[in-house]
Structure formats: C-alpha cells, structure tokens
Amino acid sequence: MVLHFLIRGRVQGVGFRWFVHREASELDLRGWVRNTEDGDVEVVASGTAEDIAELRASLKKGPRGSRVDRVVEHHLEENEARELQSFRIEGAW
C-alpha cells in the first residue's frame, strides 16, 4: 500500500519531520517526509495496510508543540513505490 499525505496546521518548526521519520522507521515503512513551501508537511509512505494505519494515526496527532488541522491523503499506484527506499527526510535540515 502506498499513500501520499499532506498535513496542514502548525507543522513546521516543531520537529514534525523528525517525528514522522521516527514513527515511519519504527514501522519499517519506505518513503520520505518533507516541508512544503506552503507551510505544510508532505509524506509518501509504503508498507502494509496495518503499518500505514498506525502512521496515519500518528500524523493526525503530531509531536508535542504541533497542531494538526487537517490530514489530506490519497492512494498512489504500487509502481510509484518501486523507487522508495528506507524512510528519509528530504529537503533542508
């Protein structure tokens, strides 16, 4: 299963990408997380339905100091996961 998430709210400058990286790595998901220019956080994750569901729950909660207003998600085709490697943070550190 491959999903794309867009997390809106106070999600930049609060350790959100590190939080997602830790959660996704513990679940052994493949994919990436990055900030968007609009102030959101974007995630692509590939794994089992159960593990994706756990990640979804974490995304809706967020780390301490964040405020998640909305999580937008859509399914991607399985072939879009072929290039995904171990979960990583993309973009500026």
Instruction: Kindly state the tokens that stand for 11.
Output: 């999600």
Residue 64 is a catalytic residue: no
* 76 within some domain: yes
The residue from 10, 34, 35, 67 that is catalytic is 35
* 93 within some domain: no
* 23 within some domain: yes
Confidence of residue 80 (pLDDT cuts 50, 70, 90): confident
How many structural domains comprise the chain? 1
pTM of this prediction exceeds 0.75: yes
Confidence of residue 93 (pLDDT cuts 50, 70, 90): low
Residue 17 is a catalytic residue: yes
* 15 within some domain: yes
Range of the domain at 41: 2-88
14-68 residue pLDDT tens: 999 999 999 999 999 999 999 999 999 999 999 999 999 999 999 999 999 999 9
* 18 within some domain: yes
Whichever domain contains 42, its CATH number is 3.30.70.100
* 80 within some domain: yes
